[in-house]
Amino acid sequence: MRARTMVNVAVAACVALVACACGPEQTKGDGGAKPSQPSASTSARTEAPPATPSASARTEKPTAASTGEQPSPRTKEGAIRRYEQYLHALGQEDIGTVCEVAGPAAKQAEDQGFGPCTSTFTVVFQMISPAQKKALRTATVDPRRVVVHTPGKIDVPVEAIRSSVTFTEEELGDSTLEYLRNDWYITD
């Protein structure tokens, strides 16, 4: 279900970008930005430049070891912690972390004709309101609402997300996480 949500969001975002002429709203320039993608490459970056190389260099999802973080344990609590990391990254527009955690689901969307994760989520970031971004930075997950299918596969329904803003299925969607390569990843 998550891949469908991502696809729907990406389609809507692409339509919005075309309708808005893709770039006059640019607020900050980046000397390293590509002129052909000014809106997508600059608006998602609000952090220091070191995030740029990791975001542009990632074509495959990195392992926890390559990001300097410890892998999450293969437990419900580990999956929740990893999903909260993803939610916080969405709120901070941290494309590297978002594409790491959502790598398998993003790959499915790319295989269905959408761009790579970095391009797709740059568009998604533009669709999240400032209030929603702020809420995502501190969002948590209610463990009682998480559905465990197997020790390596869980579902996090959108209703499990606790934040100052309520998110709908269309805005954030339900997510399936699976334990792959010693960590939790969003697969659908």
Domain residue ranges in the chain: 1-9+71-188
Contact 134, 101 (CB under 8 A): no
Distance of CA 76 to the CA centre of its chain: 20
DSSP single-letter state for residue 91 = H
Per-residue pLDDT of 131-146, as tens digits, reads 999 999 999 999 999 9
pLDDT level of residue 69 (50, 70, 90 thresholds): low
Contact 153, 178 (CB under 8 A): yes
Number of H helices and E strands in the chain, helices first, is 9, 6
Calculate the average pLDDT of the chain: 74
